[in-house]
Chain A
Amino acid sequence: MLRASLRQISAALKEGQITPTELCQRCLALVRSTQFLNAYITVAEETALKQAEESEKRYQRGQPLGELDGIPIAVKDNFNTAGIETTCASNMLKGYISPYNATVVQKLLDQGAVLLGKTNLDEFAMGSGSTDGVFGPVRNPWSYSRQYKEKSIPRSDSEPENSNWVIAGGSSGGSAAAVSAFTCFAALGSDTGGSTRNPAAHCGVVGLKPTYGLISRHGLIPLVNSMDVPGILTRCVDDAAVVLGITTTYIFVCSMSLFRRLSQSKLNSIYPIYIFLFFSVSCHVSGSLAGHDPKDSTTVQDIFQPFALPTLTDVSKLSIGIPKEYHVPGLSSEILAVWSKAADLFKNAGAKVVEVSLPHTHYSIVCYHVLCTAEVASNMARFDGLEYGHRSDMSKSTESMYAATRREGFSDVVRGRILSGNYFLLKQNYEDYFVKAQKVRRLIANDFVKVFGSGIDILLTPITLSDAIPYVEFIKEDNRTRSTQDDILTQAANMAGLPAVNVPTALSERGLPIGLQFIGRSFQEKQLLTVAKWFEKQVQFPMIQLEEVKKHDDGVLQHQKSASFS
Chain B
Amino acid sequence: MFSCQHSGFLCTTDHLNKVILAPWVPVVGLEIHAQITSNSKLFSGSQVQFAAPPNSLVSFFDASLPGTLPVLNRRCVEAAVMTGLALNCTINKKSLFDRKHYFYADLPAGYQITQQRVPIAVNGSLSYSLCIDNKMSQMVTKTVRIKQIQLEQDSGKSLHDDARSQTLVDLNRAGVGLMEVVMEPDMCCGEEAAAAVRELQLILQTLGSSQAIMAEGQLRVDANVSVHHPGEPYGVRTEVKNINSIRFLTKAVDYEIQRQIKELENGGTVVNETRAFDSKLGCTVPMRDKEGKQDYRFMPEPNLPPLILYDAKSLPANVNHQQVVNIDWIHERLPDLPSVKRAKLVELYGILPEHSFTLVNEDGLMEFFEDVVKRTQMKPKKVIGWILSDLLSHLKQHSLTANESPISSFLLADLLNLLENGDISSSAAKQVFEELWKGEGKTPLEIVKEKQLELIQDQEELEQICQAVIDEREKEVMAIKEGNKKVINKLIGLVRKATRGRANPLLVKQILEKKLSE
State the A residues within 8 Å of B (CB): 79-80, 86, 88, 93, 98-100, 102, 217-222, 224-226, 267, 269-271, 275-281, 294-298, 301, 374-375, 377-378, 380-384, 386-388, 398-399, 402, 422, 425-427, 430, 434
Contact = CB atoms under 8 A, between A and B. Distances in A.
A365 to B, nearest CB: 20
Contacts, number: 135
Identify which of A93, A277, A382, A422 gathers the most chain B CB atoms within 10 Å of its CB.
A277
Contacts of B305: 269, 271, 275-277, 297-298
Contacts of A374: 299
A179 B356 CA distance: 77
Interface string B298-318: 111011111110000000000
Interface residues of B, number: 41
Interface string B62-77: 0111111111101001
B43 to A, nearest CB: 9
A381 B111 contact: yes
Given A99-B60, A388-B63, 16 more contacts: A80-B66, A93-B66, A99-B65, A219-B67, A277-B308, A281-B323, A297-B70, A297-B71, A381-B110, A383-B66, A386-B108, A387-B64, A388-B66, A427-B295, A427-B298, A430-B298
Pick the 7 closest A-B CB pairs, nearest first.
Answer: A381-B110, A225-B302, A425-B297, A226-B302, A275-B305, A279-B74, A277-B305
7 contacts: A225-B303, A281-B323, A297-B72, A375-B299, A382-B110, A386-B169, A422-B297
A4 B305 CA distance: 42
Contact of A377 (B77, B297, B306): B297
Interface in B314-343: 320, 322-325
Given A218-B68, A280-B71, A384-B110, A270 B300 contact: yes
Contacts of A224: 302
Contacts of A422: 297
B306 A277 contact: yes
Interface string B445-483: 000000000000000000000000000000000000000
A295 B66 contact: no
Contacts of B74: 279
Identify which of A375, A377, A386 gathers the most chain B CB atoms within 10 Å of its CB.
A386
Contacts of B502: none
B316 to A, nearest CB: 10
A371 B68 CA distance: 20
Contacts of B108: 382, 384, 386-387
Contacts of B66: 80, 86, 88, 93, 98, 221-222, 382-383, 388
Contacts of A388: 63, 65-66
B105 interface: yes
Nearest to A92: B66
B302 A276 contact: no
A333 B109 CA distance: 47
Interface of B: 60, 63-72, 74, 77, 96, 99, 101, 103, 105, 108-111, 167, 169, 295, 297-300, 302-308, 320, 322-325
User: In terms of DSSP, what is the predominant structure of the interface of chain A?
Assistant: loop
Contacts of B302: 224-226, 270, 298, 375
A384 B320 CA distance: 41
A378 B67 contact: no
A337 to B, nearest CB: 40
A6 B304 CA distance: 36
Contacts of A381: 101, 103, 109-111
Given A378-B101, A378-B111, A381-B103, A297 B304 contact: yes
Nearest to A227: B302
A295 B45 CA distance: 10
A102 B322 CA distance: 26
Identify which of B63, B77, B305 gathers the most chain A CB atoms within 10 Å of its CB.
B305
A281 B74 CA distance: 11
B320 to A, nearest CB: 6
A216 to B, nearest CB: 9
B45 to A, nearest CB: 10
Contact of B295 (A98, A281, A380, A426): A426
B324 A278 contact: yes
Contacts of A221: 66-67
A425 B298 contact: yes
A427 B383 CA distance: 61
B101 A295 contact: no
A281 B320 contact: yes
A100 B60 contact: yes
Contact of A98 (B67, B101, B169, B320): B67
B65 A279 contact: no
Nearest to B58: A387
Contacts of A375: 299, 302
B298 A301 contact: no
Nearest to A213: B305
A381 B109 CA distance: 6
Identify which of B297, B324, B325 gathers the most chain A CB atoms within 10 Å of its CB.
B297
Contacts of A277: 72, 304-308
Contacts of B320: 281
A370 to B, nearest CB: 11
A308 to B, nearest CB: 27
Nearest to B110: A381
A36 B239 CA distance: 62
A354 B111 CA distance: 47
B324 A279 contact: yes
Contacts of A380: 110
A533 B299 CA distance: 41
Contacts of A80: 65-67
Given A275-B305, A280-B71, A294-B71, A378 B299 contact: yes
Contacts of A88: 66
A333 B502 CA distance: 118
Contacts of A222: 66-67
A298 B303 contact: yes
A218 B169 contact: no
Contacts of B169: 386
Identify which of A79, A279, A375 gathers the most chain B CB atoms within 10 Å of its CB.
A279
B445 to A, nearest CB: 58
B158 to A, nearest CB: 9
A387 B109 CA distance: 10
Given A93-B66, A301-B323, A378 B99 contact: yes
Contacts of A399: 103
Contact of B71 (A267, A270, A295, A426): A295
Nearest to B165: A395
Nearest to A399: B103
A384 B70 contact: no
A450 B299 CA distance: 29
B305 to A, nearest CB: 4
Contacts of B96: 269
A218 B295 contact: no
A221 to B, nearest CB: 4
Nearest to A426: B295
A387 B99 CA distance: 20
Contacts of A384: 103, 108, 110
B405 to A, nearest CB: 43
Contacts of B297: 377-378, 422, 425-427
A217 B69 contact: yes
A381 B113 CA distance: 13
A297 B303 contact: yes
Contacts of A279: 72, 74, 77, 322-325
B46 to A, nearest CB: 14
Contacts of B304: 277, 297-298
Contacts of B63: 387-388
A465 B191 CA distance: 71
Nearest to A225: B302
A492 B382 CA distance: 78
A398 B105 contact: yes
Contacts of B298: 425, 427, 430
B306 A269 contact: yes
